[in-house]
Amino acid sequence: MSNKKTTYSEYLNLDKILDSQNPLSNISGKPIHDETLFIIIHQIYELWFKQIIHEIDSIINYFSNPSIKETNINTVVSRLNRINDIQKIALNQIDILKSMTPMDFLEFRDLLNPASGFQSAQFRIIENSLGLKKENRLKFSKQNYKDFLSRPEKKIVEKYENTKSIFDLVEGWLERTPFLESEEFNFWESYKNAIRKMLDRDMKIIHDNPNLNSDAKNEQIENYKNIYKNYDSLFDEEEYDKLIKNNSKRLSQKASLAALFIMLYRDEPILQSPFRLLTKLIDIDQALNSWRYNHALLAQRMIGTKIGSGGSSGSKYLTKTLSKHSIFDDYANLSTYLIPKSALPKLPETLKNKLGYYFINE
């Protein structure tokens, strides 16, 4: 064994990293100052993407086990937090790119063709591993996104596309949630009764409101009829299946009810970590959309209505992905069904003991 001690530079492979910026303008003999900034920012993106994939792989590994320990859920939440923190840093990097003016970018933009950020295989892996379905992807220049990748990249992207994602695994985990039904407590029926009381109370307020004329009352009553119907669809298996089939919902009815239970009773000790997990999945999904939106604004700022360097419609394409490429909307939309804490069905004492940290001193 060698006694030679590793140096900082050797450990980090700085010779490779710092020598990996090769501006095409330098090669052409007409160096353009801001091309180095453009390269470094995007290399940093790819390094962060690599770390995010590293975290996601570990989370998938945890959820692939038949049973998941409470301590593992805490670890998953911690890693989801890390992913979200990385996303915040990546978003802030856009401000550095904005220090480059559109005319500065135009100096070397043509040298990039046909390269494009759309060809980032790692970003596609992140989307696939989180749970973006291939049938929900927008076509890029009327072509499949994988057509723009090299053969090795295509192979690994397809691997993540064809294996269970975080969405799939968390859905399965939620479907195994206990407590929803027992001989002494049926959460579904108790919750529906609580909803009915709350909505009936609101309807009475509308009827008795002297400040509303008949048209205004009828309008609000019709609105509340739709609210009743929306709540009922959550519990009606046939209606819920229709929502799944027309792509209005993706999360299974069983998983949706479990997630809703977790959100409603999130203050119970055992449900606090699952609640943070669901909340963090929403944060990550919305941060991805923030990243897409900010890049759409950046593309518009830099190239206006011109086509992107990869041949796309630039900012218009990025803007369209905001709704189509969301993954965890079903969790975010569960806020529709939340009710005040004061209206929550009272849990039986034995169930509260199971949801808490209950010890008996003998």
Q: Give the per-residue pLDDT at 317.
A: 66
Q: Give this prediction's pTM.
A: 0.86
Angle, to 10 degrees, between the axis of helix 253-264 and the axis of helix 269-303?
110
Q: Does residue 203 form part of some domain?
A: no
- In DSSP notation, 144-179 reads -GGGGS-HHHHHHHHHHHTS--HHHHHHHHHHT--S
Q: Give the per-residue pLDDT at 1.
A: 54
Q: Does residue 77 form part of some domain?
A: yes
> Among 99-108, 265-274, 298-307, 319-328, where is mean pLDDT lowest?
298-307
Instruction: State pLDDT tens for residues 197-207.
Output: 888 888 999 98
Q: How many CB atoms lie within 10 A of CB 9?
A: 11
Q: Does residue 362 form part of some domain?
A: no
> Which H or E run contains 274?
helix 269-303
Instruction: State pLDDT tens for residues 290-347.
Output: 988 888 888 888 877 655 544 445 566 667 777 778 999 999 999 888 888 888 888 8
Q: Does residue 170 form part of some domain?
A: yes
CATH number of the domain residue 277 falls in: 1.20.58.480
Cα 53 off chain centre by: 14
Structural domain containing residue 85: 22-180+250-333
DSSP state of 311: S
Instruction: State pLDDT tens for residues 57-67.
Output: 999 999 998 77
Q: Does residue 83 form part of some domain?
A: yes
When divided into structural domains, the chain yields a total of: 1
With a CB cutoff of 8 Å and minimum separation 6, the contacts of 231 are: 192, 195, 199, 337
Q: Give the per-residue pLDDT at 56.
A: 98
**Pair 119, 148: CB distance under 8 Å:** yes
Q: Does residue 50 form part of some domain?
A: yes
* 156-175 exposure pattern, b = at least 16 Cβ within 10 A, e = fewer: bbeebbeeebbbebbbebbe
Q: Does residue 349 form part of some domain?
A: no
Q: Does residue 224 form part of some domain?
A: no
